[in-house]
A and B are shown apart, each in its own frame.
Chain A
Amino acid sequence: MSQRINLQQQVFQGNQRWAEQNRSMFQQHSLLVVNIIGSPGAGKTTLLESMVPLLQDKVRMAVIEGDVETTFDSERIAACGIQSVQINTFGACHLDAKMISSVAEHFSLSALDILVIENVGNLVCPAEFDLGEGIRVVVLSTAEGADKVRKYPTVFQRAHAVVLNKIDLLPYVRFDLEAFRKNLLCLHENVKLFCVSATNSEGVDSFCDWLLVQQGKCT
């Protein structure tokens, strides 16, 4: 005889359990964990490279790199003298909390102040997966266009900060900066916006200063 079992069980519940476990672990170590999300080519890794010289004398930092394949980005960060662990998803378009939990043992968390997670390049799926981070940062480049806030609202709504990268290209690309600011603040009035060029480090110091303030709140 057929029976109905009512569940109303959230599909993301499994990931959420891992995320809360991660968050608790990170908080125990007073560790600021930053989840960096952005499209492929937005400049996430280059931003991290430009941050290292500004932060390394002030905080102890490590990085988790997420990519579908290769260790290219992890190698770039390691070349800066920062511990970096690569997660390859081999097809998955985002990192999840269980993946983060699985690599946490590679770090001495009590010996760190900031752990940055560079997510798989994607403006859609990473927005749905809590990793247990303390803050979420979206990196967008001027070359991608100012309409991305309206096209991908979820990722911007859930960000604590947005880093607009490649501002050195503004004279050469059609990017309406004022429209972008307006759309972003309409969607999320409390979000912090940093305009930077990761390749020449313009504006990166302001972003790093903000991160240091956030890290200070963890202690």
Chain B
Amino acid sequence: MHEIGLMTEIMSIVHSAAKDAGINSVEKIKVVIGKELMVFPDALQFAFSCLKRQPCTEFTILEIESRHGLEFYVDYLEGD
């Protein structure tokens, strides 16, 4: 499934950033998706539900913002 591969990359970015910042528990991830990219937010949420079951992200919520264009990036993460 396409979104599983994309979400794997997002989780890699998040885990790396959390480790660098000394964050042990990620509370929120914010992702921006361009509508022209054909990445479906619902499918990405489903992929996230499959991949989040790790100590750092077990209770994390994923917020997705859809915008016009082709952007696709991890905007920020929050945690402590």
Residues of A within 8 A of B (CB): 1-15, 91-94, 96, 124-125, 128, 154
Contacts and interface: CB of A to CB of B under 8 A. Distances in A.
Closest 8 CB pairs of A and B: A2-B80, A11-B72, A6-B76, A4-B78, A10-B73, A7-B74, A9-B74, A5-B21
A11 B6 contact: yes
A11 B9 contact: yes
Given A4-B76, A93-B1, A154-B38, 12 more contacts: A3-B21, A6-B75, A6-B76, A7-B73, A8-B73, A8-B75, A8-B76, A9-B13, A11-B9, A14-B9, A96-B5, A154-B36
Nearest to A11: B72
Contacts of A92: 2, 5
25 contacts: A2-B78, A2-B80, A3-B79, A3-B80, A4-B78, A5-B17, A5-B21, A5-B23, A5-B76, A7-B13, A7-B17, A7-B75, A8-B73, A9-B17, A9-B74, A10-B72, A11-B9, A11-B31, A11-B73, A12-B9, A12-B72, A15-B9, A96-B5, A124-B2, A124-B38
A1 B79 CA distance: 8
Interface string B30-60: 0100001110000000000000000000000
The DSSP consensus for interface residues of chain A is mixed
A5 B27 CA distance: 11
Nearest to B21: A5
A5 B9 contact: no
Interface residues of B, number: 26
A8 B9 CA distance: 14
A93 B5 CA distance: 9
A13 B6 CA distance: 11
A7 B77 contact: yes
Interface in B61-80: 72-80
A217 B48 CA distance: 44
